[in-house]
Structure 1
Amino acid sequence: MDTASATIGIVLILLFVCPVAYIIWQQAAKNKKRLQQLKLAEKQFKIKLDTIDLTPSLLLGLDSAAKKLVVINTLHNSPLQVVDLKKVHRSSVKKVAVDEVKENKNPSCKLVSLELLNGHPGNTTSIVFYDEEEETGFDVETQLALANKWDTLIKGHLQA
């Protein structure tokens, strides 16, 4: 009876622990592959990324010395984009709010993006952090905070 209880206990623990360990292992492997993409971009463009952010939808890297921003949108499998911050005149966070007000009395956001103006009004690079239409399940406030963080980083490297 005592051995049977211990065996059942061990099986139950393994039943709950193994799936969690597997998910953690898969996520670590996925992040390693995504980080490898940024390392390849470093070699390809001969830059050294000193600030890196991995989000579920974006890979962002900044080379402070060369003033280059690397953007990879993993949600749409978009090609690698390198933005030369020497050519960017202005950076701002664009937040499009929904007209209706939810029960928490705060207007919800439909879109959060970082807009980089490259001189002419029509020549703008947009980095989308949150899009309600994508239905990714991302938290708006977290993505807005991340967009503000990168806006602050980029503004520190723009030409005066």
Structure 2
Amino acid sequence: MPNSKARITEIRPAGPDHQVLTVEGSKSSSYRREPCPDCPWCKDSTGIFPAEAFRHSACTAFDLSRNIFSCHQSGSKKPAICAGFLLNGAANNLSVRLKLHKGEIADDVVDGGRELHESYRAMAIANGVPENDPALARCRDA
């Protein structure tokens, strides 16, 4: 079924060639089963995305957050939850926990043999966000 209700509600610049979108209204339960080639959760992709992108997306790692970190390659018309996020950043995310409970996300996500950042905070810091940045203050690490 097409994801016709997904709509962009906010666009935040995150550098000259990057932006972070907020997409709302999606009823999709699509998720990636493995990190994409330049997944920011993978340590070998560190430095590809600007620090500002990680500041904008930090809210996905807040306790009981309803915001989901989506795969940047999925696009805004058919958003899919990022595999790296599911593996190492979604344990405290309310929306993901509800999807798991409803069976909309299975236990079939793998790292593909790639080393992932241990937490959202670790990923953001590795990508240039200062460890004491207020954007990271509410991030849950476990």
Larger fraction in helix: 1
| Higher relative strand content | 1
For normalisation by structure 2, the TM-score amounts to 0.30
Q: Which has the bigger relative contact order, CA under 8 A and spacing at least 6?
A: 2
TM-score, length-normalised on structure 1? 0.28
Q: Rg: which structure is higher?
A: 1
